[in-house]
Amino acid sequence: MNNVVRVALLGAPNVGKSTLFNTLVGAHRFVGNWPGKTVDRYEGELEHHGIKIRIVDLPGTYSLSAQSEEEEIARDYIIHEKPDVVVVVVNAIALETTLYLAVQALELTSRIVILVNKIDVAEKMGIHIHIEKLSSLLGVPVVAVSALHRSGLHEAIEAIINVARGTYHVRGPSLSYGIIDYYISHFEKTLESCEASSIFPRRWLALKLVEGDKHIDAIMQEKCPELYSEALKSRKQIMEQFGKSPDLIVASSRYEFISKVIDQVIYKGKLATPPLTEKLDNILLKPLIGQLTLFIILAFLIGLVLTVNTGFPIKQIAEALGLSAVAEFLENYSLSGIVAFAFNVLSEQLRTFLIALQLPDWLISIIVDGAFAGVGAVLSFLPLIFLVFIAFGFLEDTGIMSRLAAVYHETMVKFGLSGKALMPLLLGFGCNVPAVMGTKILSTDREKFLASFLAPLIPCQARLVVLLMLLSLIPNPVIAGLLLLFIYLYSFILVGILGYLISRYMEKTREEPQLIIELPPYHLPSLRVIWWYAWDNTLHFLKKAGIIIFAISTLMSLLLMLGPSGIVSSVEGSYAYSISNLITPILTPIGLDRWEVALSLLSGFLAKESIASTLLIATGKDTPQVALATLNITLPQIVSFMLFINLYTPCVATLSAFYSQVKSAKYTVLLILTELFLAYVSAFIAFKIFTLLMP
């Protein structure tokens, strides 16, 4: 694909097409006339990541039947000019009627992107549209946008480029016209003998011949009179047999198809009354009370998600209160625990099955401990990802998300972000993967990048587990508690400083991020809508990040399992051990000059939870505490170890999510290097200071 994409903008009157055109191209537009017509022709262009997108705004039209001057212009442009992409704008609050034009366009060309405009108005009216499902049913990219508020435009442009590049394969809808299908197939074959038909899409031309299109009739009557006569006979047969004209049958088929699609993708919720909305806003939008109330709601949701997933923090609270039965229940029946148990059972069954096939041990180990373990690494994230997006969906569907963004906007501006960035960043306390993925709700590329870059520095749940393990080596609980508090505060300070510096660098002269948001009325959450939201985002995670996680997890497992002599029985013979020995001298200045520690940090790149298990393997001990005690780690080393763990790359899954968000290997490497630099320098300074204080 060259660096210019030609786009035709198609839509019915009043769908917001002109607003969208003006929003996209701004001042870069000019007006002329369509050749031989009195209708104005608007064109403009924009640039996106070095690609020029030239847009022709076609006249507003309800169909492509060429029964008016506007319809003829729009249809002829698509047929004869062959734009790289046709963008069809439909109205979110009148989806059923405006989809008719989109279906007609799909009959004409497959290079289609559908934009559902006025999505903000629809949400305000309690209308939810399952965009992913709509896209799946129509077989084309569908993006929800608000031309007026400029939301969804980035995704729309990305979809246009993907279709132009051919990276998105448009398959179109499975639309049947009943008995007409037979005649369409027949004329598709017979049209091969008509040379004049070559400028038209063959199936579309066959449909028009059967349907009875006056412009096509005129062409065929002159160029291929025999086919024209045959088409007339076919129309007569259909009329006599079914009592309806072919064009009426075709139109009915389109409406029937659209009706079935609408039934599957639209949900209309019940809105709260205006007085109730006003009363709630009087509380939630007040600076102090609103911030506190929404923070409590948010903290409750995050706590609930984490507890269902791993038991934390309710499990720890139950243990502290002496409720061992509750703590044990949460430990045994947390969602991630159940998934891990099921996966272990499947893993052993697979091993038994492969042994029964008498496969060699090395092959069984590669399949079970390498590839299947990679699948397990992907699956281990799914429960948390799904739960997080259920919480996201709840906040979005009830209207609370918009209030969160509004009341915390002023606070977040200090870090170069808008109020909408608070939610994904807070998710980082649970897991950095959904935190990075959650930044897609932000409005601009700049803010998405900045929030994605900062999110991995938020101490996640997995890192907390390792930090608590290290703190268990400190006999004084007060010192241990203060140290944990210091680690968290230090991370927050780094996030703030880094956000401020990157924001200044990106904009040279720092401008405050803008928050343009319309507060929708409150309404009861719909389980159906929340399910759409959570399921679509979980699938998005699997598609975008799952493959990379699987590949790197498998690679890391193989490094631990294989060595120069093949399959190794102890970790000392593995490639991972050799690599960790190379790393050890680099870690000496920060006090971590043990190959066991280096190996655990290496495996921590895969997932922070594996640090503990790697230490057990490397030391041959039964518990992490005993393993750490064996290493004779001092307090300065503990502080250094904790800071390094907390700041260097969280896990390969987070990197994968970051890469899928920014789509740049350069920025992904920059993220890794930045975090390693911060981790190393922080650990070095802390080690030196604590060594001086505690000689």
pLDDT digits (tens, 9 = 90+) for 250-309: 999 999 999 999 999 988 877 667 677 778 888 888 878 888 888 888 778 877 877 787
Q: Is 120 annotated as a binding residue?
A: yes
Beta carbons within 8 Å of 214's beta carbon, 6+ residues apart: 66, 67
Q: Is 543 annotated as a binding residue?
A: no
Q: Is 274 annotated as a binding residue?
A: no
Whether 34 shows a pLDDT value over 80: the answer reads no
3-state secondary structure 444-477: CHHHHHHHHHHHHHCCCHHHHHHHHHHHCCCCCH
Helix, strand, coil share of the chain (percent; to 5): 70, 10, 25
142-144, strands of its sheet edge to edge: 29-33, 40-48, 51-57, 4-11, 85-91, 112-117, 142-144
Q: Is 18 annotated as a binding residue?
A: yes
User: Binning pLDDT at 50, 70 and 90, where does residue 137 land?
Assistant: very high
* AA letter at 621: K
Q: Is 385 annotated as a binding residue?
A: no
User: Binning pLDDT at 50, 70 and 90, where does residue 36 land?
Assistant: low
User: 367 with 350: CB under 8 angstroms?
Assistant: yes
User: What average pLDDT score do residues 337-363 get?
Assistant: 84
Q: Is 37 annotated as a binding residue?
A: yes
CA–CA separation, 602 and 614 (whole Å): 9
Write out the two tokens for 15.
């769908």
Mean pLDDT highest for which of 19-23, 139-143, 535-539, 591-595? 139-143
pLDDT for the residue numbered 672 = 93
Q: Is 38 annotated as a binding residue?
A: yes
Per-residue pLDDT reduced to its tens digit, 385-425: 788 778 878 887 788 887 887 888 888 887 778 877 877 78
Q: Is 39 annotated as a binding residue?
A: yes
Q: Is 376 annotated as a binding residue?
A: no
Domains and CATH numbers, the chain: 4-165 (3.40.50.300), 179-246 (1.10.287.1770), 290-509 (no CATH), 558-693 (no CATH)
Burial 651-668 (b: 16+ CB within 10 A, else e): bbbbbbbbbbbbeeeebb
Q: Is 445 annotated as a binding residue?
A: no
Whether 101 shows a pLDDT value over 90: the answer reads yes
Q: Is 15 annotated as a binding residue?
A: yes
Q: Residue 504's CB: how many other CB atoms inside 10 A?
A: 12
Specify the pTM. Answer: 0.62
Q: Is 13 annotated as a binding residue?
A: yes
CA 526 to chain centre: 21
